[in-house]
A and B are shown apart, each in its own frame.
Chain A
Amino acid sequence: MSPIVLAQDPSLADFGQDPWWLVLIKILFAFVFAVLATLLGVWFERRVVARMAVRPGPNQVGPFGLLQTLADGLKMAFKEDILPKSADKVVYFFAPVISVVCAVTALSVIPFGPMVSIFGHQTPLQVTDVPVAVLVVLAFSSLAVYGIVLGGWASGSTYPVLGGLRSSAQLISYEVALGLSIVAVFMLSGTMSTSEIVSAQGSGPEVELFGLAVPMPGWYAILLFPSFVIFFISIVGETNRAPFDLPEAESELVAGFMTEYSSLKFALFMLSEYVAMVTMSAFTVTLFLGGWHAPWPITIWEGANSGWWPMLWFFGKVIALVFVFVWLRGTLPRMRYDQFMRLGWKVLIPVNLVYIVGLAGFLKTQGWERTDRLIAYGLVAGVLMLAALFWPSRRPQPKPTVQEQVDSRPHGSFPLPPMDLQVPPSPRTKRVVAEREPANVAAGQDSREV
Chain B
Amino acid sequence: MTTQTALAASAAVSGGEAVTFWILAPLALLGAFGMVLARNAVHSALWLVLTMLSLGVFYVLQAGPFIGMTQIIVYTGAIMMLFLFVLMLVGRDASDSLIEVLRGQRVAAIGLGIGFAVLLGSGVYRATEGGVPVGLEQANEIGNVHAIGRLLYTDYVFAFELTAALLITATIGGMLLAHLERRKEDKRDQVATMKARFAPGNYPGPKPGPGVFATSSSVATPARLPDGKLSDQSTPDILPLRELTAEETTLKGTER
Interface of A toward B, CB cutoff 8 Å? 12-13, 16, 88, 91, 130-132, 135-136, 138-139, 142-143, 145-146, 149-150, 152-153, 156, 161, 164-165, 168-169, 171-172, 175, 192, 410-414
Contacts and interface: CB of A to CB of B under 8 A. Distances in A.
A145 B40 CA distance: 20
B160 to A, nearest CB: 16
23 contacts: A12-B1, A91-B43, A91-B46, A131-B1, A132-B144, A132-B145, A135-B66, A139-B56, A139-B76, A142-B76, A142-B77, A143-B76, A146-B49, A150-B46, A153-B84, A153-B92, A156-B92, A164-B88, A165-B89, A172-B81, A192-B145, A414-B200, A414-B204
Contacts of B82: 172
Tell me the interface secondary structure of chain A in the complex.
Answer: helix
Contacts of B128: none
Given A156-B92, A172-B78, A130 B73 contact: no
B2 interface: yes
A209 B18 CA distance: 59
B81 A139 contact: no
Nearest to B66: A132
Contacts of B84: 149, 153, 168
A252 B39 CA distance: 33
A156 B40 CA distance: 14
A142 B144 contact: no
Interface of B: 1-3, 40, 42-43, 46, 49, 56, 65-66, 68-70, 72-73, 76-78, 81-82, 84-85, 88-89, 92, 143-145, 198-200, 204
Tell me the interface secondary structure of chain B in the complex.
Answer: helix
B28 to A, nearest CB: 17
Given A138-B73, A413-B199, A130 B1 contact: yes
A168 B85 contact: yes
Given A156-B92, A161-B88, A145 B66 contact: no
A145 B88 contact: no
Contacts of B42: 88, 91, 153
Contacts of A168: 81, 84-85
B213 to A, nearest CB: 29
B65 A130 contact: yes
Contact of B73 (A139, A146, A150, A413): A139
Contacts of A146: 49, 81
A142 B88 contact: no
A149 B49 CA distance: 14
A175 B65 contact: no
Contacts of A88: 40, 42, 92
A164 B85 CA distance: 9
Contact of A139 (B40, B72, B89): B72
Nearest to B72: A139
A284 B43 CA distance: 35
A169 B204 CA distance: 44
A161 B67 CA distance: 32
B77 A132 contact: no
B200 A413 contact: yes
Contacts of B3: 16
